Amino acid sequence: MDTIRIHNMSFYGYHGVDASERDLGGKFHVDVELGLDLRPAGESDELADTVDYKAVYDLVADVQRSNRFRLLEAFAHAVAEGILANFAIDQVTIRVRKASVPLGGLIDHTEVEITRTAS
Protein backbone atom coordinates (compact mmCIF):
# COMPACT_ATOMS: atom_id res chain seq x y z
CA MET A 1 0.00 0.00 0.00
CA ASP A 2 1.22 3.49 -0.88
CA THR A 3 0.64 6.64 1.14
CA ILE A 4 -0.37 10.23 0.48
CA ARG A 5 0.20 12.59 3.42
CA ILE A 6 -1.16 16.07 3.99
CA HIS A 7 0.47 17.58 7.07
CA ASN A 8 -0.53 20.34 9.44
CA MET A 9 -3.71 21.73 7.94
CA SER A 10 -4.47 24.62 10.29
CA PHE A 11 -7.91 25.84 11.32
CA TYR A 12 -9.53 28.06 13.90
CA GLY A 13 -12.47 26.19 15.37
CA TYR A 14 -14.93 26.07 18.24
CA HIS A 15 -14.38 22.60 19.66
CA GLY A 16 -13.82 21.49 23.23
CA VAL A 17 -15.31 20.03 26.37
CA ASP A 18 -15.51 23.36 28.20
CA ALA A 19 -18.16 25.86 27.09
CA SER A 20 -15.47 28.56 27.05
CA GLU A 21 -13.50 26.58 24.46
CA ARG A 22 -16.57 26.32 22.24
CA ASP A 23 -17.30 30.06 22.69
CA LEU A 24 -13.80 31.50 22.27
CA GLY A 25 -12.40 28.92 19.85
CA GLY A 26 -8.82 27.90 19.28
CA LYS A 27 -6.26 26.57 16.83
CA PHE A 28 -6.50 23.03 15.49
CA HIS A 29 -4.10 21.17 13.23
CA VAL A 30 -4.98 18.10 11.17
CA ASP A 31 -2.80 15.53 9.41
CA VAL A 32 -4.27 13.08 6.91
CA GLU A 33 -2.61 9.90 5.64
CA LEU A 34 -4.33 8.08 2.80
CA GLY A 35 -3.45 4.48 2.02
CA LEU A 36 -4.07 3.33 -1.54
CA ASP A 37 -2.39 1.92 -4.62
CA LEU A 38 -0.65 4.80 -6.42
CA ARG A 39 0.66 2.68 -9.30
CA PRO A 40 -2.13 3.79 -11.71
CA ALA A 41 -1.33 7.47 -11.04
CA GLY A 42 2.39 6.82 -11.32
CA GLU A 43 1.93 5.21 -14.70
CA SER A 44 -0.64 7.64 -16.14
CA ASP A 45 0.39 10.95 -14.53
CA GLU A 46 -3.35 11.80 -14.41
CA LEU A 47 -5.20 13.34 -11.45
CA ALA A 48 -8.16 11.04 -12.15
CA ASP A 49 -5.98 8.08 -11.08
CA THR A 50 -5.21 9.41 -7.59
CA VAL A 51 -6.81 11.50 -4.85
CA ASP A 52 -7.21 15.24 -5.34
CA TYR A 53 -5.37 16.82 -2.38
CA LYS A 54 -7.46 19.99 -2.59
CA ALA A 55 -10.67 17.97 -2.38
CA VAL A 56 -9.36 16.29 0.78
CA TYR A 57 -8.43 19.68 2.27
CA ASP A 58 -11.87 21.06 1.41
CA LEU A 59 -13.58 18.09 3.09
CA VAL A 60 -11.54 18.49 6.28
CA ALA A 61 -12.23 22.24 6.31
CA ASP A 62 -15.95 21.63 5.84
CA VAL A 63 -16.13 19.06 8.65
CA GLN A 64 -14.24 21.46 10.94
CA ARG A 65 -16.33 24.49 10.02
CA SER A 66 -19.72 22.74 10.12
CA ASN A 67 -19.42 21.22 13.59
CA ARG A 68 -18.66 22.04 17.20
CA PHE A 69 -17.13 18.86 18.54
CA ARG A 70 -16.62 18.31 22.25
CA LEU A 71 -13.91 15.69 21.67
CA LEU A 72 -10.92 15.53 19.33
CA GLU A 73 -11.85 11.86 18.93
CA ALA A 74 -15.21 12.84 17.39
CA PHE A 75 -13.54 15.42 15.13
CA ALA A 76 -11.02 12.85 13.85
CA HIS A 77 -13.72 10.20 13.40
CA ALA A 78 -15.93 12.54 11.36
CA VAL A 79 -13.02 13.45 9.09
CA ALA A 80 -12.06 9.78 8.61
CA GLU A 81 -15.64 8.74 7.82
CA GLY A 82 -16.04 11.62 5.35
CA ILE A 83 -12.83 10.72 3.55
CA LEU A 84 -13.71 7.02 3.35
CA ALA A 85 -17.16 7.89 1.99
CA ASN A 86 -15.86 10.27 -0.68
CA PHE A 87 -12.55 8.88 -1.94
CA ALA A 88 -11.43 5.51 -3.32
CA ILE A 89 -8.88 4.64 -0.65
CA ASP A 90 -8.13 1.55 1.43
CA GLN A 91 -7.15 3.20 4.71
CA VAL A 92 -7.03 6.60 6.36
CA THR A 93 -5.16 7.84 9.40
CA ILE A 94 -6.18 11.16 10.94
CA ARG A 95 -4.27 13.14 13.56
CA VAL A 96 -5.97 16.13 15.19
CA ARG A 97 -3.96 18.45 17.45
CA LYS A 98 -5.28 21.21 19.67
CA ALA A 99 -3.15 23.96 21.16
CA SER A 100 -3.90 25.73 24.43
CA VAL A 101 -5.88 22.96 26.09
CA PRO A 102 -6.91 23.98 29.64
CA LEU A 103 -5.27 21.16 31.61
CA GLY A 104 -4.02 23.26 34.51
CA GLY A 105 -0.45 23.51 33.26
CA LEU A 106 1.65 24.39 30.24
CA ILE A 107 1.60 22.00 27.29
CA ASP A 108 2.34 22.37 23.60
CA HIS A 109 -0.77 20.53 22.38
CA THR A 110 -2.92 17.44 22.72
CA GLU A 111 -3.30 14.98 19.85
CA VAL A 112 -5.60 12.15 18.84
CA GLU A 113 -4.71 9.66 16.10
CA ILE A 114 -7.20 7.25 14.57
CA THR A 115 -6.94 4.80 11.68
CA ARG A 116 -9.93 3.49 9.75
CA THR A 117 -10.13 1.09 6.81
CA ALA A 118 -12.60 0.84 3.96
CA SER A 119 -15.24 -1.83 4.45
d(CA 12, CA 67): 12
Q: pTM of the predicted model, to two decimals?
A: 0.93
Mean pLDDT within 21-31: 92
User: Does the annotation count 98 as an active-site position?
Assistant: yes
Start-to-end C-alpha separation, the chain: 16
CATH topology of domain 2-117: GTP Cyclohydrolase I, domain 2 (3.30.1130)
- Model pLDDT for residues 68-112, shown as the tens digit of each residue: 999 999 999 999 999 999 999 999 999 999 987 767 777 778 899
- Active-site option among 17, 98, 102, 117: 98
